[in-house]
Amino acid sequence: MMNYNETKEFKHDFKKLLKKFPSLVEDLKVNKQYRIELFHIKNIDSKSIFEIQGVGNTVELQFFKVKKFQCKSLKGRGAKSGIRVIYAYFPIKEKIVFLEIYFKAKQENENRQRIVDFTNTNKE
């Protein structure tokens, strides 16, 4: 069973997007189950999760982006909703920490500084 946590920045992003996309709570739950857990636990690649390169990934800590995030509030767009989720994955602990969620129409790429800051505060 995967353990999930969120940074305060993620919570802030999520709350802001929730106003525009009310289905986001349920959408995140579905994406955890059918995207993230299948990818990391069952090794089933749905071509929706991509490792973020150049951020110092190690055996203990890796960073990923969910690109094909299905959002019911964006009817008719399916997995091409434009919502992106950035998370840190601790393979040994089977733990995921959500770092950022954003809508691609408002922000082109992930905030790499958040990843660097998270890495610096989570060195073991």
How many angstroms separate the CA atoms of 70 and 12, rounded? 20
How many angstroms separate the CA atoms of 52 and 54, rounded? 7
Report the predicted TM-score, pTM, of the whole model to 2 decimal places.
0.91
pLDDT higher than threshold 90 for residue 55: no
Single-letter amino acid code for the residue at 109: N
The chain-wide mean pLDDT, for the chain, equals 89
pLDDT higher than threshold 80 for residue 123: no
Secondary structure letter of residue 109 according to DSSP: S
pLDDT confidence of 6, banded at 50, 70, 90?
very high
Fold of 3-121: YaeB-like fold (3.30.2310)
Which residues neighbour 107 within 8 Å (Cβ) at sequence distance 6 or greater?
none
The residues facing 4 across adjacent strands are 96
How many angstroms separate the CA atoms of 35 and 90, rounded? 16
pLDDT higher than threshold 80 for residue 77: no
